[in-house]
Structure 1
């Protein structure tokens, strides 16, 4: 948009801890022609409140992965302002919307609200993401210090996912209207160079997407990329299914600067893993993580408690797996730590639809104050019902005990 002489300002409401009242005051003060917001299951009520309480004349642009599954709900928001609702990737069509040149892409219209669907056949679909420009000047001063004390900046190298987890809005079966894309090696290298040029203090790069290490070829590409930046460490997502066949590359990953990998384990119960379409056997999880820790790559395992029909025996199996992985790391070069959540159903997912069919209604997300004692978790301590066979107190106990493993408890 800036390249087309449109003034743009980015306001990170989470980073700046802004409430609805403050956001509305900013809109009144700055008097923009358009306001764009990202909507997802956990903040739906917040976005709705902002739109419905805004008295200033402004066009709202609403996007986010979940829009595909809740645009009918968004169409029922009450506002006199025009709304532009984007399904899919919106960076190219936004410029057309602001310039009133996007009507050919309207998928659905209701009163003052328009829905645009950007699928793989749209002229606004980013076919090659290697050349999608990101102006990092918007993020000046936003680099953080990670757990290891390194100044860290983040990049995204791909879009889409190969897997079909029943709890995830990025599941492959839900996104057949698009296809997975990866940035080429040269583009990723340039991204890192741009980060370093903007901020010479950056010491670590975090790769946020799911496909950076999707297979052997990509792992070799990652090694080649970061061998060019031997003063940087890096952290990325990993999948047991991919790493199970590539353990001979682990040492080279470590030597290229790989400090930590994030692995979605979710459950230690084979029964629950099958019900959520999670690939990988328990013995494979143990084997892969052992070998990563052995070469000195730290691992952060993600766990979820409270899946539908989960019973106390399933919870115990998940805790036992987390405890086992933590205990083996004590005598290895790498450290294992946990990140733990209560299951929340996200719009459009397989589990969301199963629950909706059974219970007819899913409550909106609310803050779980019982977990607030853990620092840095405010954005994760949300719940929207308990669909397991266990009491809420039992779920919270297992979440707490699994988090306490990080402190050696």
Structure 2
């Protein structure tokens, strides 16, 4: 049956204890998706893996990965008849999640978590479409979700688990002793089981070679990448998390420390990470990895510790990997440090550059300058390390000069890459506010109503000469339809479309050719 082929990781023989649902970015029953890849829901897979090892039969339905509509998603859940349905609530997909929840059979209990649930718990609890909601889990869910599956009545003993009192309609919550609270809210990430990839329909996966791959192949740095770039073989890639939490407070980010005071920052031991790399290689043939957490290249001492152990295990001779990084931290690394990263297999770094305007970078609390960014990227690409740079257009208070400074900054970075072996890929997004972030408070203090700021819709760039197929693995652009700065939205989107199209053309240029 179709629903059984779309549910990942479950044991089809036994009754389903829980089905975890990743809502689609939009209702694909109304307009089919074009892209065929989305980043895996690693957080949800961690919860499912932990519950499975605790003895429960669970599955994941990734409606975004399968391009499902709201009605079909709800139909699959109802046909599977789980005891519990679980959802990760994110601001841009909350309406999709609520519409799915509204259609669930009344005997399916609902638990929710995620950034949106954490930022606006009372709003979620009061939503009549969430009538099946029996547990709202704030923060990391592995231990508490398994406890709920074992015995729902235990929710009164679980910290930071909320529900709506059926008699009074008011919020109720669990209380735990101080002894058990820390272990439930911040489990030892080195003791957690490795993610069972059976829960992830698109991870590991075989990607199309990127411009960075082609340049690496042209340089002869990695033989199997050279073969992949010439179509002789493919390579298998997987996503991985090396840490949890972030010490920075970027104004727009849901991971900002001020939005997550309960999160204890933890980094996995390098031996623990290498164990997962080797497991994925042995089981799936994975030779390329993407670290998607905030801190893997975000703390200098952590970088040095991990790279020493990576070198001891000769990781660079067996694998390549990408990671997120902090520009201010990378700026402090020596050329020798960068040589060590390259020798250990670093292929590409994802950087939140965000703006080419000093004024906007200060408003975002980025703690970087454009000069620092250019200096870091010049050094990275000179070492053959690719860069994926993220930018935000239309941030509150942005002027036309700020916008043009960002455009000029992007073109300077492209020019730098054109003269070095490393490549830079640019991803540009229209600003959208998320509840719980520092900028959200600033906007609501300024008089914006939450209903205005939560009115997310996807942006159609086709009339500006760009389309979804140009965006590769990026999330689709979302907007709340509000002009937060000086520049009209139509000009923001025209600029966004132009930069997207230019990056698309660069992606398809021959290695070594100036775009």
TM class by shorter chain equals: over 0.9
Shift of residue 224, structure 1, vs aligned partner: 3.5
> How far 1:331 sits from its partner (Å)?
1.1
Deviation, structure 1 residue 330: 0.7
- Aligned equivalent of 1:104: 157
Bigger Cα displacement from structure 2, 147-156 vs 332-341: 147-156
Q: 1:46 aligns with which of 96, 102, 105?
A: 96
Structure 1 match to 2:271: 186
CA shift, 1:370, in A, is 1.8
Aligned match for 1:25, one of 75, 82, 99? 75
Task: Please show how residues 165-184 of structure 1 align to structure 2 within 5 Å.
Answer: 165-184=250-269
Number of the residue aligned with 1:234:
321
Deviation at 1:259, TM superposition (A): 0.8
Partner Cα separation in structure 2 for residue 377 and residue 396 of structure 1: 19
1:73-116 Cα offsets, whole Å, 9 max, x none, are 10112144242101111011001112222222265442347656
Give me the whole-angstrom Cα distance separating, in 2, the residues matched to 1:359 and 1:140. 39
Quote the Cα distance in structure 2 between the aligned partners of 1:401 and 1:225: 43
Aligned with residue 486 of structure 2, among 386, 389, 403: 389
The Cα shift of 1:122 comes to 4.0
Residues 1:106 and 1:224: Cα distance change in structure 2 (over 3 Å) = closer
Q: Distance in 2 between matches of 1:255 and 1:377?
A: 27
TM-score relative to the length of structure 1: 0.94
1:211 to 1:141, Cα distance in 2 relative to 1, 3 A: closer
Of 153, 171, 191, which residue of structure 2 is paired with 1:131? 191
Contact 1:144/1:151 (CA < 8 Å) preserved in 2?
yes
How far has the Cα of 1:54 moved from its partner?
2.0
Which stretch of the first structure deviates more once superposed, 384-393 or 224-233?
Answer: 224-233
Change (3 A) 1:97 1:301: same
Task: Report deviation, 1:65.
Answer: 2.3
- 1:15 paired with 2:62, answer no
- Flag the 1:106–1:77 CA change in 2: closer, same or farther, 3 A: farther
TM superposition outliers: structure 1 runs of 4+ over 6 Å: 117-120
Task: Report the structure, 1 or 2, having the larger helix content.
Answer: 2
Q: Which residue of 2 aligns with 1:316?
A: 404
Question: Equivalents in 2 of 1:301, 1:370: separation in Å?
Answer: 20
In 2, the alpha carbon distance for the partners of 1:106 and 1:114 equals 11
Q: Is the 8 A contact 1:126 1:132 kept in 2?
A: no
1:245 to 320, 327, 332: 332
The 10-residue stretch of structure 1 (249-258 or 210-219) with the greater mean CA deviation from structure 2: 210-219
Alpha-carbon distance in 2 for matches of 1:247, 1:394? 40
- Cα distance, 1:117 vs. partner? 8.6
| TM-score, with structure 2 as normaliser | 0.75
2:346 & 2:61 partners in 1: Cα distance? 32
Give me the CA root mean square deviation.
2.2
Give the aligned length.
408
**Structure 2 CA distance, aligned partners of 1:131 and 1:260?**
28
CA distance, structure 1, for counterparts of residue 88 and residue 204 of structure 2? 21
- Inter-CA distance 377–298: structure 2 relative to 1 (3 Å threshold): closer
CA distance 1:7–1:41, shift in 2 (3 Å)? same
Structure 2: gaps of 5 or more residues: 1-50, 214-227, 229-234, 507-514
Q: For residue 64 of structure 1, what is the aligned residue in structure 2?
A: 114
- Are 1:345 and 1:352, in contact at CA under 8 Å, matched by a contact in 2? yes
Q: 1:264-279 alignment to 2 at 5 Å? A: 264-279=352-367
Q: Paired residue for 2:47?
A: none
